[in-house]
Chains A and B, each alone.
Chain A
Amino acid sequence: MGSLEYLKNVVTLELDEVKCIGCGMCIQVCPHAVLSMNGIGRVEIQNRDACMECGACSRNCPTEALTVESGVGCAAAVINTMLGRESTSCCCTIDPKQESKPEGKARCC
């Protein structure tokens, strides 16, 4: 049994090869080995369907060569968003009213 993989052909990850300087930070931060270095010192997407759109690669790309519509792949969060609730992520809901206070309390469902 190989590593678990979610739906095919849905991931929004994009790489602009021209902007890539081959620093390799994206390869370091990717938790699913989506990216690899090619023969000429540039990054390429080798396993697109394994991407979970966490956004670590694009966040750490100094030249904005990588873009992805990042978010948390969580059904409860999608439902919360549809219902217009504040939280955008299911495992970590931070109460916006309390966040501003110094003793700000966090909620985890």
Chain B
Amino acid sequence: MSLPSPDQPFVSGSVKTAVTYIPQISTSLKWRDHWGTIRARWGVGRMYYTVDPGLYALGNPDENSPVLASANYKMSFDRLRESLRDRDAWILVLDTKGINVWCAAGKGTFGTTELVERIINSGISQIVSHRNIILPQLAGPGVAAHLVRKYSGFKVSYGPVRAHDLPAYLDAGCRATPEMRIQTFTLMERTVLIPVELVEALKAAVFIIPIAFLLGGLGGPGGYWDNVLNYGASTTAAIMSAILAGTILTPILLPFLPGRAFAIKGLWLGLPTALILVLIRRSDMAIRPGQLESVAWFFLVTSITMYLAMNFTGASTYTSLSGVKKEMRWALPVEICAGIAGIVLWLGSRFAA
């Protein structure tokens, strides 16, 4: 029998059972929990934001209290315990390698084998008199309920998608309303994903932007460093605008952007972004370099926003693998070609007479 460590900040005490003392967890989140959520949302320390797997007591549970399973990603765990304020329950935390419930279920780490082993090793069958365990609905892709019953004796009930519906679900005798079963993708749910998308895109931009700066100095009318400041800086601004459109505006405006394919949605953001940039830039359209630079920006900005919007399929809650593959068959070549065309035209603008 393996017990989770009591030396974790959210453990407030212990509960005596027929078998042993079980760590008791607090249902109120502290500032450090909220700070941890913010950090993880920005992608900081997100890979190691874990809790010890094993059995925990929430409130003062007894042999009749419900048993709920969760992932050992700290954010998943926090959502669960804060939703069960003033309740008594047993929380069985699976070892999902610090990954949230849905992703872990998709990869199989929140799976039938892990759940069955965790049920057996936790000693829960000697602690409670019933044989029911409540799983987050989004564990479904990884767990076969009928096999869990066969191998552990525990009957799986799928709870609501969102932890905050748990009190209503429990009070209704473990019955979910149709609304509780639907994975939504509301403005708020999309907005919290922006920081990670932005940070990931900026990690790539860190490599691209110095190159754009330095190449901006080549050719052109003035001296090298004057050109760097003029052409390098303005193209950097164009790339940054494309990143902001692709990672901030895409999530916010997603349902309102025309088209079903995400790359198309990105196209509808990239074109106006490029147009605004060109209007602000006020290049001399009478001469060849000004024309080339403007056209180059259209290709560059649009290809970047299309790519980043397409990338958002991974964060969305409703895209299928078959659909993403179908979209990428045309979108990826288009994005690559447009990107190359943009680079070539922009370099051309630097040397055009």
Decide yes or no whether A108 CB sits under 8 A from chain B: yes
Decide yes or no whether B320 CB sits under 8 A from chain A: yes
> From residue 1 to 35 of chain A, which have CB atoms closer than 8 A to chain B?
1, 3-8, 10-12, 25, 28-33
Decide yes or no whether A37 CB sits under 8 A from chain B: no
State which size class the interface on B falls in: 35 or more
- A7-B323, A60-B146 as given contacts; A50 in contact with B158, CB under 8 Å: no
Decide yes or no whether B103 CB sits under 8 A from chain A: yes
Decide yes or no whether B333 CB sits under 8 A from chain A: no
A75 CB to nearest chain B CB (Å): 5
Decide yes or no whether A43 CB sits under 8 A from chain B: no
Q: How many cross-chain pairs have Cβ atoms below 8 Å apart between A and B?
A: 173
Report Cα–Cα, A55/B144, bound state, in Å: 11
B203 and chain A: residue at smallest CB distance: A109
Report Cα–Cα, A11/B326, bound state, in Å: 11
Q: Which of A7, A33, A55, A74 contacts B141 (CB 8 A)?
A: A55
- A3-B184, A4-B255, A94-B109 as given contacts; A74 in contact with B324, CB under 8 Å: yes
- B residues in contact (CB < 8 Å) with A: 46-48, 50, 96-100, 102-107, 109, 137-138, 140-146, 158, 161, 176, 178, 181-185, 200, 254-256, 260-262, 310-311, 313-328, 332
A-B CB contact pairs (8 Å), 29 listed: A1-B255, A4-B254, A4-B316, A5-B318, A10-B320, A10-B322, A11-B320, A25-B145, A31-B140, A31-B182, A32-B182, A53-B322, A54-B106, A56-B138, A69-B321, A70-B141, A73-B313, A73-B321, A78-B321, A78-B324, A79-B328, A79-B332, A88-B107, A92-B100, A92-B103, A105-B47, A106-B47, A106-B98, A106-B99
- A residues in contact (CB < 8 Å) with B: 1, 3-8, 10-12, 25, 28-33, 50-57, 59-60, 62, 69-79, 88-92, 94, 99, 104-109
